[in-house]
Amino acid sequence: MAMKREAFREPFHLSMLFNDTRYRARTIQVIAFILLVLTAAWLVDNTIHNLAALGKNFSFGFLWSTAGYDISPHAIEYSSTSTHARAALVGLLNTLIVAAMACVTATVLGVLAGVLRLSNNWIVARLMTVYVESFRNVPALLWIVVVAAIMSEAMPTPSAFRGEHPTASMMLWGSVAVTNRGIYLPVPDFSRSLGAFGEIDLNYPAILITLALSLLAHRRLVRHAQRVQGVSGQRPATWWKSFCIFAVPMIALLYALGFHLEYPALKGLNFTGGLLLRNSFIALWIGLSVYSGAFIAENVRSGIIAISRGQTEAAHALGLSPRRTMRLVILPQALRIIVPPLISQYLDITKNTSLGLAVGYMDLRSTLGGITINQTGRELEAMLLMMLIYASISLTISGIMNVYNSRVRLQER
């Protein structure tokens, strides 16, 4: 029968590329790819001709010329004599810092609001509903501008803290000053140093390594407790061991480094020392947090609702309190529903940091995509770099969250 089918197989001809289902899909894909390549080639050729007509060439040499402008805040050393590449790096770090902080606070706020919206307390549930519906239906830019206006107009000036009877209220906890220029906070400092590697103070990597080793040790401790529970049916107490694993090495390291806090002090017309969180940073951070937190709250609420009510009833039948039921039973199962849309929210937060331009926050958009373009006239090169950087950040966040999602999703057997 096989030989007979081979004998009657129709010989190949060009019409089969579209009429035969064995070849049609690949034919369409090849044609689409060729059209895409031709379109890209036309765009590149057209761009080169247009640049030549304007007397420009395609080059990234502008990155090594002097920037000539100041950036505040800056996480690394920077001055107006630094290069545009350095300015772009400072803007990128500012973007990453505010994006990371906004992701954390938006997640905490979203989880709390999502859980409380399902509360049996009518007032609490309605308040959370008002928050969600109000904040997610107003553009993020408006919330950023509102927070910036409140910080600059409603907060006292630094001089209001001067004198025995200042017009402003006393500093919070004697060390935090909220002013119309920003919030002044104590900043960690060290009297001893492990040295430096380039521009990186080795004290901070040492702290991060110590924390990472403590996390690994705690993970092994938890796995050991789980094995003991599986064998004996009783879980050993681990809270004091966990406390020692995290506290003892960290306290010893901080003591060896001479850790202390540098407090802000009012000298002249302004505060000196400490850490200044500028109004632009606070406005962007809080605005993105409350806006994205409303969307995350809805994701959390939908994930919790998707879990069968029988899970809650079974947990209550076992004697678990509502708080422990939510933490140990409901939320772990709801994560596989919450995490995928949560990835999109993190990506939106990262890209929406470009809105900081409206309040004067010097992020990647304001440095490389703003002042650098105005000074050098390299619009195409700068925009391509920005697109590449934002795409790389987004793909990194998506990759990390997808790995986490694969760990919490339901494993089918």
For the four alpha carbons of 373, 377, 381 and 384, in that order, the dihedral sign comes to positive
pLDDT at 25: 77
Mean pLDDT, to the nearest integer, of 301-325? 85
Residue 257: is its pLDDT beyond 70?
yes
Q: Give residue for tokens 């403590």.
A: 214
Question: What pLDDT band is residue 1 in, cutting at 50, 70 and 90?
Answer: very low
Question: What pLDDT band is residue 167 in, cutting at 50, 70 and 90?
Answer: low
Contact 300, 317 (CB under 8 A): no
Residue 367: is its pLDDT beyond 90?
yes
Q: Which of 4-18, 215-229, 277-291 is modeled with the greatest confidence?
A: 277-291
pLDDT at 198: 72
Q: CA triplet 190, 192, 194: central angle to 5 degrees? A: 105
Mean pLDDT, to the nearest integer, of 342-368? 93
Contacts of residues 325-330 at CB distance under 8 Å and 24 or more positions apart, as own/partner, are 326/115, 330/304
Question: What pLDDT band is residue 220 in, cutting at 50, 70 and 90?
Answer: very high
Q: pLDDT for 277-289, tens place per residue?
A: 999 999 999 999 9
Nearest residue to 31 via CA among 44, 18, 20: 18
Q: pTM of the full predicted structure?
A: 0.83
Residue 336: is its pLDDT beyond 90?
no
Q: pLDDT for 104-140, tens place per residue?
A: 999 999 999 999 998 888 999 999 999 999 999 999 9
CA 317 – CA 333 distance, rounded (Å): 18
Largest Cα–Cα distance in the chain?
Answer: 106
Question: What pLDDT band is residue 39 in, cutting at 50, 70 and 90?
Answer: very high
- The share of the chain scoring above pLDDT 70, in percent, equals 92
Q: Give residue for tokens 């220029």.
A: 181
pLDDT at 10: 65
Neighbours of 340 (CB within 10 A): 14
For residue 409, what are its two tokens?
Answer: 């999703």
Residue 186: is its pLDDT beyond 50?
yes
User: What secondary structure, in 3-state letters, does the chain show?
Assistant: CHHHHHHCCCCCCCCHHHHCHHHHHHHHHHHHHHHHHHHHHHHHHHHHHHHHHCCCCCCCHHHHCECCCCCCCCCCCCCCCCEHHHHHHHHHHHHHHHHHHHHHHHHHHHHHHHHHCCCCCHHHHHHHHHHHHHHHCCCHHHHHHHHHHHHHHCCCCHHHHCCCCCCCCCCECCCEEEECCEEEECEEEECCCCCEECCEECHHHHHHHHHHHHHHHHHHHHHHHHHHHHHHCCCCCCHHHHHHHHHHHHHHHHHHHCEEEECCEEECCEEECCEEEEHHHHHHHHHHHHHHHHHHHHHHHHHHHCCCHHHHHHHHHCCCCHHHHHHHHHHHHHHHHHHHHHHHHHHHHHHHHHHHHHHCCCCHHHHHHHHHHHHHCCHHHHHHHHHHHHHHHHHHHHHHHHHHHHHHCCCCC
For residue 171, what are its two tokens?
Answer: 């500093």
Residue 182: is its pLDDT beyond 70?
yes
Residue 14: is its pLDDT beyond 80?
no
Nearest residue to 302 via CA among 71, 115, 138, 90: 115
CA 115 – CA 182 distance, rounded (Å): 32
**18 residue type, one letter:** F
Mean pLDDT, to the nearest integer, of 33-39? 92
Tell me the C-alpha to C-alpha distance, in Å, between residue 182 and each of 100, 305, 359: 20, 41, 13
Based on the number of CB atoms within 10 Å of its own CB, is 11 exposed (0-12), middle (13-18) or buried (19 or more)? exposed
pLDDT at 125: 92
- The share of the chain scoring above pLDDT 90, in percent, equals 42
User: Which of 86-90, 140-144, 261-265 is predicted least confidently?
Assistant: 261-265
Mean pLDDT, to the nearest integer, of 149-165? 81
Beta strands 200-201 and 259-262 are unpaired
Q: What is the mean pLDDT of the chain?
A: 86
CA 362 – CA 95 distance, rounded (Å): 8
Q: pLDDT for 370-391, tens place per residue?
A: 999 999 888 888 998 999 999 9
Residue 197: is its pLDDT beyond 80?
no
